[in-house]
Each structure stands twice: as C-alpha cells, then as structure tokens.
Structure 1
Amino acid sequence: MPIMITKNLQGLVCLFLAFGINFSFFAQSGRIPVRAENGMVVTSHHLASQVGNDILEQGGNAIDASVATAFALAVTLPSAGNIGGGGFLVYYGNDGHKTTFNFREKAPLAASAEMFLGVDGKVKDNSNHEGMLSVGVPGTVAGLYKAHQKMGSLPWEDLVAPAVKLAEEGFSSTYNMNWFLNWAKEHKDEEIYKATAKSFLKNGEEIYEPGEIWKQPDLAETLKRIQKNGADGFYKGKTARLIENYMKKHGGLITQKDLARYEAEELEPVTGTYRDHEIVAMPPPSSGGVALVEMLNIVEGFDIKEMGHNSAASLHVLTEAMRRAFSDRALHLGDPNFNPGMPVDEITSKDYAARLRETIEPDRASVSDSANFSAAHLKYESPQTTHISIVDKEGNAVSLTYTLEHSYGSRITVEGAGFLLNNEMGDFNPIPGYTDTKGLIGTNPNLAAPEKRMLSSMTPTIVAKDGKPLLVIGSPGGRTIINTVFQVIVNVIDHEMNIARAIEAPRIHHQWLPNTTSFERYGISPDTKKLYEEMGHKVRYRTNQGQAMGIYIDEEEGVIYGAADSRSYDSRAVGH
C-alpha cells in the first residue's frame, strides 16, 4: 500500500509539472525546504501563504504580499491572525534599505496603572487577561496601511480583496479550530460572547465540523470598509462606532477617540552582528530584538560549532546567554515613548556582552537570584501569535509577527463587525510595585498608562550578509519567541543547517526566572540531559516550543528556500 501511494503521488507531481502547475505543497516535508526562484511566502495557514504568493506572482513586492497575507490570516487563522490585535514588521530591501513598523496595541485613554485592581489591591477577576478591560486599542490595520503607503506598489484595494473573498465565500474549517468552536458553543448564551457564537458557530448554535465551509459575512463587510477607506475604514466611521458601542455595552474603555488617535510608527531597527552576519530586528516596545542581539553577542565568544548541536556544553552556553538577556529585559525594557533613556545601546554592545561572558563558568550553572534585581519574574505571555516570512523576486524581505495575545485573544467578537479583540492589556505589569516569584512583576517601565504600548516578546528578524537579506525568521510562542529565533539563527550560522532542519531541530527555553530550563519532550537525549543537570541546571519537559516560519536566500544559486514549522497544524511555505 505505501508503495502504491508513493507511485501515485509521484505520478501526480509529474502531471502537475507537465501542465506548469505550482506544486510547492508536495515539497513541504519536515526537514526538506520548499525551493523557489522568484518569491516565497511562509505562514501558519496554507491559504494565506497562497494569497501572498499570488500577489508576488502578480508583480507585487514583499510589502504588498505581507499586507495581503496578513489580512488573509485575519480570516483563516482567527486564533492569532487579526485586525483586532497588533504587531511588528521588519523590512530589509535588496538595496540595503532597512526599517521597521511598530503597530503594537495601545492602552486606552482611560487606562491607569491600577485599573485591574480590586479594593484589596489584588487583580480582580483576572481582568487583565479576561473581559473588556483586557482589550488594547488595535494596531494591525494602521500598521499595514502605513507600511503600504510608504513602500507598497500595488493598489491597496487589490491587497485586501483576497481576504474579502475568503470571508464572503468561506473556506474549509480544520481540526485546528475544533477546541475553540466547542468553547464558543459552551459559552454562546453568555452576553459578552453572543457575538462570538454568531460569528463562529453554524447558525450561532452548532460547531462547524472539519471540512465544512465556514463563511464570515460580518467580517467581510468590515474588510470591505477597510478596502475602500484604508485605515480610516477601521479607526473611523461604522467600524469605530461598532467597537465603541460594544465597549459601552459591556463595560470596556475604548472609545472612538481612542481609535481616531491611534497611529503606527516607523522606527529604526535594532541591529547587531554575529560572525560576519548583520542582525536586523525590532526595537522596543519589542524586547525581542534587544535580547536577541545581546544573546548572540554573548555566544559569539564560544565555539558553538565545535561543542556540537544540542550537546550539554552548547546547551549550557545558550542557557547562560538566555538567563542574562531575560534579566535585562525585565529590568530595563518598555515603551520608549514612556521610558526615555532605556540603555538599549549598552545592552546590545559587544563590550557589555564580553563582561557578561566572563561571568559564565564552563561547567557550572549560574544562579538566578532575584535578590539582586528589582523584578523577580517575567509574567505570563501567551504562545498564540503568528509569523509571516516573505521574500519577493527582487530579494526584498519582510519579517512580520502579530498577535491577539491569548489564543483567540479575549474571545470577544465585536457585534456586527465579525472580528475578535485582543487581550494585550495583560502584557502590562498588573500591580504597581508588587513583585513575587509566582509570575508577577511590578516595575515601572511596563505599567499601564494612557496610550502606552505594552512590552512584547515578538521577534521578527532578518539576517543579512554583505548588505543583502539572507535569512528571514520569526515565531509565535510568548516569551519563548526570543529563544526560538535565537536557536534557529545559531543552527543556520554555526551548525550550517538548511532552513528546514534549523526550524525542525529540538529547542530549549530559559527566561532567568523561574530558574528552570524547558526541553521539548523527546528532543534531547537522556544522556545529554543528565550531563546538563550535573552542571546545576534544572529541567522540565514541554510539548512544542514555537512555530517558526523561515526563508533562506541562496544568492549564489539564485534560489529561495522556505520552511514552515511542522509544529504548526495548517502551515505551509509557498513559492514560485
């Protein structure tokens, strides 16, 4: 039977080749990257990847494709793709031009540092993660529109059109959505979630079984307003009124004034070098770029290749770099518009890394001692984010990560608008001045304030060589994002893995506190774990870490290699 299937598949591929049909789907297999020559799109949903590739084939550039792909994901991947959330975009052109776009959500004008607290001074009813107070002012539409206005080439209307079609005509529901559909059915009678049930359930009552066509007419109408009016189609007019009305109805804070005042920012990237490669990443309010450059600077002084991939010795060095970068993250980073003087240049300098490197013993774990720091722990961040990597035929690259925070965000759908709202306010420190070892920190840089952006771990990154993009990488995963991107880069540069192998390789995570390293279960041998623990490290197992989406550009061969992480259920790399 397996032989027959293989022969049939080979015959189908040959037939597709004969008719000139793109068969990237068939090349998607674990450690085997997809190969293309004229463009590549890698995302967590195959339909969105196809939309982006179609835009590239129509002559669009990497920015055009990123806009179309992100809107398509807002339809096909509601757990993380969004117009109700926010994120970051990193661009590196084949001409050497590099920039970033910050469209992280903002706190409403009515927000305050104590907004989540009850009379006892504790967080009330998990309000920073659930309910209307958890919702930040969305940034995605503003960010995509700003990037397009600055650097897009195709008409805006054409880029939103595929998402409108997907929402209107529908697409096949998959197993990946089943748990949320069951959740929506269980909560369909709760007033705050009735609009969610209407949007996500068949007739507002029953779940869509895998394979059934799911249509989203309210979302389609919202997308049409964005298609016609650009960012104003979201931040002004009917959509803004729908958001404000739903907020007032359920005790939320966001108003039409909040929406009208929202602006995305174009920022200079955080940059560094690693073994003659240029690292280009997102600056604060992302903590990812700063921490990534710091960690790479530290490990640059070690012969990671000689140590061997995922040996106890190399894992020890990676862990110690992670430990130091995450402590600096907790102490110093936040929204730069509210925290002038953050020591970003110092933290990302080679001299600082050299001083940190001297504190690493070759065979003994350091102690993560909260007594030496003003913050004792990094709070929870959801792994439910999604990443897009794109390269166009000119070699221009985009790395875009955006999120709703938790899976399906707040799970609150705007009535009549058809899209989910984020719960990003939970990324602020919830109790001013209060720090404990259970997961709360209360330091000033990341306390809620009107129009302040919350700190993020999203780490969209582009690695360049000789002034041209080489590697485009990013991942979901909350706090683990930084370490996932870090390890993929080390795998490619130090261990010379192809992009698919680099992404599929087992990963670890350490975040300073708690003083524990997580290993992906079955990924690292018991012998290695034993040697690692003998150095004083504590280990716990987890299932999967991240869902990296990456592209590698081989300039000499003129080939683009793409890989979608098999940890992601519906992901695919599509090129042409």
Structure 2
Amino acid sequence: MKRIIAGTLGAALGLAPVAGFAQEAAIYSGMDRIHPAWAENGMVVAQEEVAAEIGRDILAAGGNAFDAGVAVAFALAVTLPRAGNLGGGGFMIVHDAESGETKAIDYREMAPMSADRDMFLDEAGEADSEKSRFTGLATGVPGTVAGMQMVLDQYGTMTLAEVLEPAIGLARDGIDVTADLADSLKGLEGRLKKWPASEAIFYKEGGEFYEPGDRLVQADLAATLQRIADQGPQGFYTGDTAQKIVDAVGASGGRITMEDMAGYKAISRDTVSGTYRGYEIVSMPPPSSGGIHIVQILNTLEEYPIGFLGHNSAETIHLMAEAMKRAYADRSEYLGDPEFYDVPQAQLVSKDYAADIRKGISRARATPSDQIKPADLAPYESDQTTHFSIVDKAGNAVSNTYTINFSYGSGMVADGTGVLMNNEMDDFAAKPGVMNAYGLIGGDANAVEPGKRPLSSMSPTIVKKDGEFFMVTGSPGGSRIITTVIQMIMNVVDHGMNIAEATVAPRIHHQWLPEVLRVEEGLSPDTIMALEAKGHVVETMATMGSAQSIMVDDENGLLLGGADTRQTSSAARGY
C-alpha cells in the first residue's frame, strides 16, 4: 500500500495537513528536502479545503478516486462558487489502475443550436465583448452534471445520490464564509448585483457584504442538487430546473432552449500523449488546446539541456518563452472542436515538427512575435477555473479542471435554481483575429457554430513513468494554464523538485501575442536584465495559476500532495 503525503509546512510550501495523523515537518536550506507527515489510503488536493475534506471522506467510506472526484466537483459548486459549478463545464482525465486505461472525459459547454457565427458582432461588424461575456448570449449549454454522471457510470462504485449528499448538506445548512470567499464577493459586487437573483444569494438583505465567519445558505442550490440526486441528470436537463435556466438565459437575450438542455451529451475521448525525457505525458485532446501544446512545447524543449542550464535561469526562460510563442501561434490557427474542424494533431505533437521549430529559435535573441506565424500545416487527422487531483489506494487517478469562465461566470444566477451561469461563449472566436478576454486569438477553427464546443486551455494532465502513474497535475489560469502545467512537469523532471517545491516556484508565461514575457515576483533583477538583453519585453505580473498536484516519490514509494497557496483556501487532504 502506498503512503500518502500532505505536509504541514505552512502556506509558503503549499502542503496541507492530513487529518488524524501526527505531523512532522522540517525545512532545511539549499537542496535539502521536506520531511512531511504521511498517511495511508488516499489523497485529495483541491483549491478549497472543505471540498478536499469531502473527497477524503468519500475515500475513507470505501469510494474510489472517481467517486471522490464527483463528490468534490459538486461540493465546489457550493464552497467555491466563483469557479466550482453546475452551470459550466470542463475536462477530466481518468486513469483506471486495474485496466491501465487512461481516458479523457469531455463535458465542455456547447453552443445552442440557434447560435451563429456573427452573433457577437455589433452593427458595424465588430466583436462586441459585452454580448459575449455579460448577457444571456454568453452562456453555453452546461456540461458538468452530465460529465459527472458519465464518470460514475463508467468508473465509479457509488450512486449519484450518495456522492451528492455532502454538497446538498452544505448548500442547505450553509457554509462558513472564508476570507477568500468574502473578498471575492466584494471584488465582484458590480457583476453579481446586476442580477437580482444573484444579489439575493450572495449578499445580505440591503446589499451588505458577508464577512468571514458569517453563514452563507444557498437554499435554491440545495433544492437543485436534491432534484439531481432524486432524478439523475434529467433533474437538471429537463423539467423545472432546465426551464428556469432557459427562462433566465432567454430573458437576458440568450438562445438556450429546452431542446438544447435535453440534448447535451458528455463525450469520452482518447487522450493526447507524448514523451518527455522518458516520461509519458497524458493530457486533454481538443476541444482543449492544452494537451497538444503541452506535448508540442515539451517536444521543442527536450533537446536542450534544461537541467544543466538551471531552473529559471535566463537561458532556460528564454528557450521556454520561444517554444511557448510558437505553440500559441499555432493555437490561433489550428485548434477547435474536432467534431467541426480537422485538427492536425499528429503533426503538432510530432518530434519532427518540434525539430523544425528548434531550427527557428536563436539561443541568443528573442524572435519578435510579429515574425512568428502559425506553421503551414494541413489537417492530418480563466482565470477563474479550478482544478483538483485525486489518487486512491488502488492507484486510480483523477485530474479534473472545470469552470464557468470568468469569476462567477456572467454573474447571472438562474432565478430559483441557485445555479451561476457560465459565459463560455466568449471562448469562441467572435471574429477571426480578434482577442478574447485572455488575449487569445482564434480563427475559423474556433468560430461559433450550432452545437459546437468552444476551444479551451484547460489541461488536466497525468504523467506516467514506465507505464505507471507518476504525477497528477492541472491548474486554473485561462491562457496561462498550459504554461503552468508545463512548468510543474519541468520542475519535477528537469530540476528534481518535489511537488511542494515545484508548486511554489515562480512561473513565467508567453502566449505569442501580446509581445510580453510575463513573470511572477521572485526572479532576480539580473535574470530579468539578461532576458531583456536577449530582446524580451518582461513584465512582472500577478500570480499565475493554482496548481493542485500529487506525485510519486519513487525512492520511498510515497505519494506527495502539493496544494498551491497562490489561492489561500487550497488544501491537500489524505487519510
């Protein structure tokens, strides 16, 4: 039986305690490692503590990682309303230890059947971001409920009613408002108070703020969750709940119909896979761009001596940024829903293509973004997102990233449901060549079409070594998700970090356009000056991502859990 690690080193190291076990921890200088506590049987790492504990309790009650994953997803809809959701969608990578099979569950939102290519243009033919972000037109058909049922049907051991019970109780009886939740509600006051149903839930009578320690009850959400528990997904996609969603979206200009709701389907897909220095990288296929570009960027970097060059050295960051720019340029041209566009996946993830990319990279100078174009390939075959990772005693693993796009989505709660609605339609290319809210450019491959799923950067990922599970990771962060996941992998594989060190290390990001190399605080001024001397435009930005990860310590046969303290409520919980 593997032992599971969740240390008690405080916020700076991103490891959370394991309930019920004595804790030991020590911090040493230099390259010395952490001595955390250990526990047996299971590990959950999530962006919110109460939800992580619910997942742990499901494992302790005999459920597997997939049961726990569904329970955590529903709990986060209550405890982390800015990102956890019923009214959005996402992706899950599942690894079944018994069969050795790893699959991708796609429960991304879908465009209504009445959607059209020009629905977000104004009278002058220009993209209107207000339409695509803050009206009913912004909402795609939600996929989370259908996706969670698919996971239970194919891999779980518990019923939907059993895994929903904790979330129902939290919504019905209330949750203690954390400082994180209180701050987010204050910061998004304008977005939420635009909608009376949202204001009635997330603010006190008279519009006063909830403060840390107050009790937040979500009675309508409890009733919606109970209908799902009693009726299955039909309790969400048909009947009273569906009608209220359709009415709310329609009243604000949206196009979702009862037929759209009833017709939603989650999809089980083959994963995208590649190799990096002997490790197998398994991630999400389109309509995520994540898996393809994680493999593409790692392929490009594989032939450089990254470990020798050093973690976050100017040379290493330069090479990473150059590889990132070229991948994001390709993303703008070639990535979209594979049901509607023939994505040239085989070429994008090939080692030969990576070799061609390297030929255009100078180790001395940054290539200006305006000189980088999408490759000439022919088809061959938010920030406010949240991620959780789970491993059980059998070695089953879940990597799940889901979202309602912006923090609290469009801000609209469908009256009478307690469900915050997504604004994922903004992830389509409203007009080819025009940036979305994350500065990402799309083309015809990601144009709006009826029934289509918008392109995403969400990148739940599992890393294997010698055919066995080695690491589970993923992150929120909009366009920065892909680069966050890449750095988690490189920090472990190239730089020999444990999962806590890999998680807290300063991150960098380049997405081709705009012409900016974003870096977190923590890089030395000398490194920044060296990058600028190579021609990079460097900006120190706010923190990027919130990786929630688990990895194997091969030497000791342990599992290490790292919770990213860039979000203060993150937690690793085991038993």
Q: Same fold by TM-score, threshold 0.5 exceeded?
A: yes
Asked whether the 8 Å contact 1:322–1:510 carries over to 2, the reply is: yes
Asked whether the 8 Å contact 2:109–2:140 carries over to 1, the reply is: yes
Q: How far apart, CA to CA, are the structure 2 residues paired with 1:189 and 1:333?
A: 36
How much does 1:175 deviate?
1.8
Q: Where does residue 84 of structure 2 map in the other structure?
A: 81
Asked whether the 8 Å contact 2:426–2:436 carries over to 1, the reply is: no
Q: How far apart, CA to CA, are the structure 2 residues paired with 1:242 and 1:29?
A: 53
Q: Where does residue 346 of structure 2 map in the other structure?
A: 345
Tell me if 1:563 matches 2:562.
yes
Q: How far apart, CA to CA, are the structure 1 residues paired with 2:250 and 2:112?
A: 13
State which of 81, 91, 94 in structure 2 corresponds to 1:91: 94
Name the TM-score, length of structure 1 as normaliser: 0.91
Asked whether the 8 Å contact 2:88–2:404 carries over to 1, the reply is: yes
Asked whether the 8 Å contact 2:127–2:434 carries over to 1, the reply is: no
Q: How far apart, CA to CA, are the structure 2 residues paired with 1:175 and 1:437?
A: 27
SS in 2 for 1:310: coil
Q: Where does residue 133 of structure 1 map in the other structure?
A: 137
Task: Give matches, 1:503-518, under 5 Å.
Answer: 503-518=503-518
Tell me if 1:146 matches 2:143.
no
1:30-72: CA deviations, max 9, x gaps? 9956643311000010000000001111111111110000000
CA 112–369 in structure 1, closer or farther in 2 if over 3 Å, else same: same
1:450-485: CA deviations, max 9, x gaps? 110000000100000111111000000000000000
CA 488–34 in structure 1, closer or farther in 2 if over 3 Å, else same: farther
Q: Where does residue 4 of structure 2 map in the other structure?
A: none
Q: Where does residue 20 of structure 2 map in the other structure?
A: 22
How much does 1:439 deviate?
4.5
CA 434–186 in structure 1, closer or farther in 2 if over 3 Å, else same: closer
CA 318–145 in structure 1, closer or farther in 2 if over 3 Å, else same: same
State which of 220, 235, 238 in structure 1 corresponds to 2:237: 235
CA 548–247 in structure 1, closer or farther in 2 if over 3 Å, else same: same
Name the TM-score, length of structure 2 as normaliser: 0.91
Q: Where does residue 3 of structure 2 map in the other structure?
A: none
SS in 2 for 1:500: helix
Q: How far apart, CA to CA, are the structure 2 residues paired with 1:108 and 1:299?
A: 40
Q: How far apart, CA to CA, are the structure 2 residues paired with 1:293 and 1:70?
A: 27
Q: Where does residue 218 of structure 1 map in the other structure?
A: 220
CA 442–93 in structure 1, closer or farther in 2 if over 3 Å, else same: closer
1:134-173: CA deviations, max 9, x gaps? 1111111111111111110112211011100111111110
CA 162–439 in structure 1, closer or farther in 2 if over 3 Å, else same: closer
Q: How far apart, CA to CA, are the structure 2 residues paired with 1:545 and 1:438?
A: 13
Q: How far apart, CA to CA, are the structure 2 residues paired with 1:371 and 1:279?
A: 26
CA 136–314 in structure 1, closer or farther in 2 if over 3 Å, else same: same
Asked whether the 8 Å contact 2:334–2:445 carries over to 1, the reply is: yes
Taking only aligned residues, the RMSD between alpha carbons, in angstroms, comes to: 2.6
Q: Where does residue 539 of structure 1 map in the other structure?
A: 538
Asked whether the 8 Å contact 1:88–1:282 carries over to 2, the reply is: yes
Q: How far apart, CA to CA, are the structure 2 residues paired with 1:150 and 1:391?
A: 17
Q: Where does residue 358 of structure 1 map in the other structure?
A: 359
Q: How far apart, CA to CA, are the structure 2 residues paired with 1:67 and 1:27?
A: 32
1:193-216: CA deviations, max 9, x gaps? 000011112246322111111111
Query: Aligned partner of 2:82: which letter?
Result: S
State which of 104, 109, 115 in structure 2 corresponds to 1:105: 109
Query: Aligned partner of 1:352: which letter?
Result: Y
Q: How far apart, CA to CA, are the structure 2 residues paired with 1:437 and 1:566?
A: 25
Query: Aligned partner of 2:369: which letter?
Result: S
Q: Report the more deviating stretch, 175-184 or 114-123.
A: 175-184
Q: Where does residue 403 of structure 1 map in the other structure?
A: 403
State which of 58, 61, 83 in structure 2 corresponds to 1:55: 58
State which of 25, 39, 54 in structure 2 corresponds to 1:36: 39
State which of 283, 295, 298 in structure 2 corresponds to 1:296: 298
1:429-464: CA deviations, max 9, x gaps? 112466899957452001111110000000100000
How much does 1:247 deviate?
2.3
Q: Report the more deviating stretch, 79-88 or 323-332.
A: 323-332
Q: Where does residue 209 of structure 1 map in the other structure?
A: 211
Q: Where does residue 450 of structure 2 map in the other structure?
A: 450
Q: Where does residue 314 of structure 2 map in the other structure?
A: 312
How much does 1:248 deviate?
2.9
Asked whether the 8 Å contact 1:554–1:560 carries over to 2, the reply is: yes
CA 366–185 in structure 1, closer or farther in 2 if over 3 Å, else same: closer
Asked whether the 8 Å contact 1:28–1:34 carries over to 2, the reply is: no
Q: How far apart, CA to CA, are the structure 2 residues paired with 1:29 and 1:458?
A: 33
Q: How far apart, CA to CA, are the structure 2 residues paired with 1:313 and 1:343?
A: 31
Q: How far apart, CA to CA, are the structure 2 residues paired with 1:28 and 1:285?
A: 43
Q: How far apart, CA to CA, are the structure 1 residues paired with 2:559 and 2:20?
A: 15
Q: How far apart, CA to CA, are the structure 2 residues paired with 1:454 and 1:25?
A: 45
Unaligned runs of 5+ in 2: 1-8, 11-16, 377-381
Query: Aligned partner of 2:311: which letter?
Result: H
CA 516–496 in structure 1, closer or farther in 2 if over 3 Å, else same: same
1:265-293: CA deviations, max 9, x gaps? 00000000111111000000000000000
Q: How far apart, CA to CA, are the structure 2 residues paired with 1:279 and 1:228?
A: 39
Query: Aligned partner of 1:338: which letter?
Result: F
How much does 1:531 deviate?
1.1
Q: Where does residue 325 of structure 1 map in the other structure?
A: 327
SS in 1 for 2:103: strand
Q: Where does residue 487 of structure 1 map in the other structure?
A: 487
How much does 1:541 deviate?
1.0
Asked whether the 8 Å contact 1:90–1:398 carries over to 2, the reply is: yes
Task: Give matches, 1:239-278, under 5 Å.
Answer: 239-278=241-280
CA 34–365 in structure 1, closer or farther in 2 if over 3 Å, else same: farther
Q: Where does residue 550 of structure 1 map in the other structure?
A: 549
Q: Where does residue 474 of structure 2 map in the other structure?
A: 474
Q: Report the more deviating stretch, 439-448 or 86-95.
A: 439-448
